[in-house]
Structure 1
Amino acid sequence: MLLSPLSTAEAQSGTVYEHTLENGLKILVREDHRAPVVVSQVWYKVGSSYEPGGITGISHMLEHMMFKGTKDYPAGEFSRIVAENGGQENAFTGADYTAYFQTLEKSRLEISFKLEADRMRNLDLKAEELEKELQVVTEERRMRTDDKPRAKTHEQFAAVAFTNSPYQNPVIGWPSDIARYKIEDLQAWYQKWYAPNNATLVVVGDVQADDVIGLATRHFGGLKPSEIQPAKPQDEIPQVGPRKLTVKAPAQLPYVMMGYKVPVLKTARPEWEAYALEVLAGILDGGNSARLSSRLIRGKQLAVSANADYDMTSRLQDLFLLEGTPADGKSVFDLEYALKDEVAQLQNDLVTPDELQRVKAQVAANDVFQKDSNFYQAMQLGLLETIGLGWQKADEYVQKINQVTAEQVRAVARKYLIEDSLTVAYLDPQPINETAKPNKTAGGRHAF
């Protein structure tokens, strides 16, 4: 197959080049010539939000198994070859994606393509390797969730906050499901989702786009696509009243977590609501001068920590989160009421011009800072493409944030931060057994 030079139409932003192979693999290339390195990432449109009941966490399990070898490259060879060539590699699984990456000196890019193309369709899944990795994942779950009271609270919180959305399930999976994985489950999941027409190859670094696409065509172009049925919609049903839960776990400090059902960039109608929620999160928690820090931590001294979080790049409707640890002598209920009071003030009064400008300046500065990283640039492009928004949204972010008004911030606070869509979780600390020392974690791949 002859490859014609990229046209200016394929470089819609002036820096990102897009090309799709005949088998459906989408390739995105951003040239960044500041250092002789390159980041290569392969993103698959599958994560925990695609999983049916009984096999929760299987996307994460398959991520582990992707390092167990093919006929051409047995277990351990992938990592050995990358390391031998001075590179770094790993993988991560989220609710909406699974991705694999390598960072290499620019002349070694073909090594990445050769290895990733091989395991995209030729993974050699073995029952004995699954048995070993089940122990690794079980230990990973214990270290990351079961032995961490806040993480345990987050998991229980999500299970209550969502009724029928797959976001109610943890990315790593429920213990009973992990224990019952069969090699046939992994093989079916791999065959269903791991194909060029369900993947995006993102390359950022000191490369020429034409060269990258030529190499990608050589190594990925011969792979056969699959018949991929889109995941069925799983829209969360409307919440009809507040929900509360208490998690009892060994811990030193109490903790409260609150979440309101909100739209994300993909689901917001009109779209500006997602950007307004992003600004609202910055008003509350965007540095030392933000409201939660200046008022609840330093001012009223109600909390030792207080945070707000909103992820506008989820695939499905998500949550606007508030969380914190009360100060000594204060209760989780004191902090809950204080957080609700901050929400009420956002609903009643317009944020000040100074606050609005502070958040917008921070967004612009962070965007510039993050683009210093080839890895972050690739992450941003891969994520937006994989969740179905399209990579072009990356170039709109700062502009859209700058268009948000104080009236829009108040409007989304009034519309979405309401009691009927609220879930609250309290961590009730239990005595810590000092004699039960955790074992060192086993090695293996992990979700970020």
Structure 2
Amino acid sequence: MKRTLSLLALVASLSAGAENLAPAGTLSSSLAAWAGTAVANPASSVQQFTLRNGMQLIVQPDRRAPTAVHMLWVRVGAMDEVDGTTGVAHVLEHMMFKGSEQLAPGEFSRRVAALGGQENAFTNRDYTGYYQQIPADRLRDVMVLEADRFAHNQWPDSEFTKEIEVVKEERRMRTEDNPRSMLFEQLFATVYQSNPYRRPVVGWMSDLDAMTADDVRQFHRQWYVPAKAAVVVAGDVDVAQVRAWAEETYGQIPARAAPVSKPREEPRQIGLRRIEVKQPAEQAFVAMAYRVPAIRKVQDLEASDKDALALLVLSAVLDGYDGARLERALVQGKDRVADSAGSSAGVLGRGPAVFTLTGVPAKGKTPAQLEQALRAQVQRIAKEGIQSAELERVKTQWMASQVYERDSVMGQAQSLGNYWVMEMPVNADELLLQQLMQVSAADVQRVAGRYFGNDQLTIGTLVPQPRAAGQARPAAAPASAQMH
């Protein structure tokens, strides 16, 4: 499941159609009001604590329904692996369901179900997470269960031998049998030369073949320490009671030194990179990845943070709602060059950032023509700028996404955990919203002219190949995170 922060929601949701763009200036008063009150009057009463062993506890009371979401976040993901053991973070996520000193394999899930709860887990480049949504009065029970497997994950080699085959099949289905997934895997392995973001979350198949049970156990011993973890609870709970339960359960885990990753900074790119990926497919696909700055701070912003925010707005102007620029210019009309086109500003994460432009060429059009058309849309903004109505539209959608996210205790917990992983404060949503409101049309025009040169670009093209007789069409491309 892809874990989407509310910051990014404006790019993909809350669409209303281009014809509803408001005239310039009609939304200014409401946006200004939000910008001025977002930090002063945060909608939440979230509190954060440090347990005796260094583990973090974040609690968000929400008493609208007698339910609670309990999440355990570990600040370790695929980017913390070393060559030769890619995929081990995700494999460990699977093995966390296979037993502890107190529970037999599979017993954790059976007990959560008996409590009336639902549970799952997820791994991506930056983190691993585990969650349960349960009746609020069963919260302590799942805290006991999760603390036990965090500290005492234990299983026989035979369980690993079975589960590693499950992970391999997951790789085959989600990546090797999906042409676009193969393209993106190869693309990011080319974009990044030294940074661990170049590795697939599920791991390379050769590493999965060579992985041992002790590789997984060692990764658990090394990274699953209290100082690398946070418990997030949202729902119908009392903060003081949750804190007391957390100390009784998680707080009893002995503190250990937290490992430190090497920086592994990505060197400056010094020229355009281009790859072709040949896979059985019916249509070509183009993906253009530009190296851009990431958001690192939400207060006292550096110039790079401000540029990253402007890039997020640029992506929303291009592809943030039905009938946005890419759709109008490339997909609609008789002279269209694409069956679909999109953009994404991946500016939030522990590692480096990329801005991607993607598309499927229309019948009779080549990948080269689509590539040029995608470039032309960014170049047009760099030359002419954007309309004030476009800018206010995407800001309003972001504002709305903040409100809608608060309707879901799961959404609140996810957001709090995501921002903790990035070492941002618990009110990062409000702070980032305030910063977004300050992004101007001139800022968007400036970044469109600054970050889209060839020296920062890697282009991947899917070259369709004939399918073998009887070969089934692959499922839709999977999300970037790997789910249990």
Normalization by structure 1: what TM-score? 0.94
Q: Within the alignment, does 1:298 sit opposite 2:332 as a pair?
A: yes
Q: How many angstroms does 1:390 deviate by?
A: 3.1
Separation in 1, partners of 2:343, 2:108 = 40
Q: CA deviation at 1:415?
A: 2.0
SS of aligned partner of 2:252: coil
Match of 1:146 in 2: 176
Shift of 1:371: 2.1
Shift of 1:210: 0.9
Structure 1 unaligned runs (5+)?
A: 1-10
Confirm or deny: 8 A CA contact 1:204 1:377 kept in the other structure. yes
Q: Are 1:428 and 2:471 an aligned pair?
A: no
Alignment of 1:188-199 (within 5 A): 188-199=218-229
1:187 maps onto 2:221 in alignment? no
1:332 and 1:410 mapped to 2: Cα distance? 26
- Using the TM superposition, give the Cα deviation of residue 439 of structure 1 relative to its aligned residue in structure 2, in angstroms: 11
User: 1:121 maps to which residue?
Assistant: 151
Q: Does 1:18 align with 2:54?
A: no
Correspondence 1:155-166 to 2 at 5 A: 155-166=185-196
CA distance in 2, matches of 1:79, 1:238: 46
Q: Of 367, 373, 376, which residue of structure 1 is paired with 2:408? A: 373
Going from structure 1 to structure 2, the CA distance change for 1:12 and 1:294 (only over 3 Å counts) comes to closer
313-322 or 98-107, which moves further after superposition? 313-322
* Structure 1 counterpart SS, 2:316: helix
The answer to whether the Cα contact below 8 Å between 1:313 and 1:384 also exists between their aligned partners in 2 is no
What are the superposed Cα offsets for residues 357-401 of structure 1, whole Å, 9 maximum, x if unpaired? 111111111221122111111111101111222333122122111
Equivalence for 2:162: 132
Conserved 8 A contact 2:347-2:354: no
Task: Please list, as runs of the form range in 1=range in 2, the aligned pairs for 1:210-225 lying within 5 A after superposition.
Answer: 210-225=240-255
Match of 2:202 in 1: 172
CA distance in 2, matches of 1:35, 1:14: 16
Question: Residues 177 and 438 from structure 1, CA distance in 2 versus in 1: closer, same or farther, beyond 3 angstroms?
Answer: farther
* 1:161-183 deviations in Å (ceiling 9; x for gaps): 11111111000000101111112
In the alignment, is residue 447 of structure 1 matched against residue 447 of structure 2? no
**Does residue 424 of structure 2 align to residue 394 of structure 1?**
no
- Read off the aligned partner of 1:412 and give its amino acid letter: V
Deviation at 1:103, TM superposition (A): 0.3
Query: Within 5 Å, which residues of 2 pair with 1:301-312?
Result: 301-312=336-347
Q: Is it true that 1:242 corresponds to 2:278 in the alignment?
A: no
1:24-68 Cα offsets, whole Å, 9 max, x none, are: 010000111111110010000100011110001100000000000
Letter in 2 for 1:404: V
Tell me which stretches of 4 or more aligned residues in structure 1 moved more than 3 Å: 11-14, 436-440
- What is the DSSP-based 3-state SS (H/G/I as helix, E as strand, rest coil) of the residue aligned with 1:315? coil
Letter in 1 for 2:328: S
Deviations 1:71-102 (A, max 9, x none): 21111110000111110000000100000000
Whole-angstrom CA distance in 1 between matches of 2:352 and 2:48: 28
The CA deviation at 1:152 is 0.6
Matched, 1:34 2:64: yes
Residue 184 of structure 1: how far off its partner (Å): 1.5
Residue matched to 1:321: 356
In the alignment, the residues of structure 1 paired with residue 482 and residue 106 of structure 2 have an alpha-carbon distance, to the nearest angstrom, of 16
Q: Indicate conservation of the 8 Å contact 2:105/2:155, yes or no.
A: no
- Are 2:77 and 2:126, in contact at CA under 8 Å, matched by a contact in 1? yes
Contact 2:234 2:410 in 1 (8 A): yes
2:417 is matched with 382
Do the aligned partners of residues 317 and 392 (structure 1) sit closer, same or farther apart at CA in structure 2, a change above 3 Å counting? same
Structure 2 CA distance for aligned equivalents of residues 353 and 40 of structure 1: 41
> Which of 82, 103, 110 does residue 52 from structure 1 map onto?
82
Q: Does the C-alpha gap of structure 1 residues 438 and 70 become closer, same or farther in structure 2, counting only changes over 3 Å?
A: farther
What is the letter of the counterpart of residue 302 of structure 2?
Answer: R
Instruction: Compute the displacement of 1:434 (Å).
Output: 3.9
Cα distance between partner residues in 2 of 1:320 and 1:329? 27
The more displaced of 199-208 and 311-320 is 311-320
CA distance in 2 between partners of 1:341 and 1:99 (Å): 40
Relative contact order higher in (CA < 8 Å, ≥ 6 apart)? 2
Structure 2 runs not aligned, ≥5 long: 1-40, 476-480
Distance 1:439 1:385 in 2: 36
- State the Cα distance separating 1:220 from its structure 2 match: 1.0
Query: For residue 36 of structure 2, what is the aligned residue in structure 1?
Result: none
CA contact (8 A) 2:79 2:126 kept: yes
User: Secondary structure at the residue paired with 2:357?
Assistant: strand
Counterpart in the other structure of 2:295:
265
CA gap 1:237/1:23 in 2 versus in 1, 3 angstroms = same
Alpha-carbon distance in 2 for matches of 1:175, 1:390: 38
Asked whether the equivalents of residues 64 and 446 of structure 1 are also in contact (C-alpha less than 8 Å), the reply is no
Per the alignment, do residues 346 and 122 of structure 1 end up closer, same or farther by CA in structure 2, a change over 3 Å counting?
same
The Cα of 1:217 is off from its aligned counterpart by: 1.0
Q: Distance in 2 between matches of 1:160 and 1:293?
A: 28
**Is 1:289 matched up with 2:323?**
yes
Check whether the contact 2:202–2:482 (CA below 8 A) recurs between aligned residues. no
In structure 2, how many angstroms separate the alpha carbons of the residues matched to 1:107 and 1:151? 42
Which SS does the other structure have where 1:248 is aligned?
A: strand
Distance in 1, Cα, partners of 2:398 & 2:43? 20
Cα distance between partner residues in 2 of 1:196 and 1:279: 37
* SS state at 1:320 partner: strand
Structure 1 range deviating more: 411-420 or 101-110: 411-420
Give, in angstroms, the shift of residue 446 of structure 1. 4.3
Is residue 191–residue 458 contact of structure 2 (8 Å, CA) maintained in 1?
Answer: yes
Residue 86 of structure 1: SS of its match in structure 2? coil
Q: Matched residues in 1 for 2:124 and 2:406: separation?
A: 22
Contact 2:291 2:457 in 1 (8 A): yes
2:113 aligned to which of 83, 86, 90: 83
Structure 2 CA distance for partners of 1:330 and 1:44, relative to 1, 3 Å: same
* RMSD of equivalent CA atoms: 1.8
1:141-191 CA deviation, whole Å, 9 max, x = no partner? Answer: 000000000111010111111111111100000010111111221111101
Cα offset for 1:436? 3.5
**Contact persistence 1:263–1:318 (CA under 8 A):** yes
Offset, 1:21: 0.6
CA contact (8 A) 2:42 2:430 kept: no
Q: Which of 194-203 and 410-419 deviates more? A: 410-419
TM-score, normalised to structure 2, is: 0.87
1:3 aligns with none
Percent identity of the aligned residues? 38
Q: Secondary structure at the match of 2:119?
A: strand
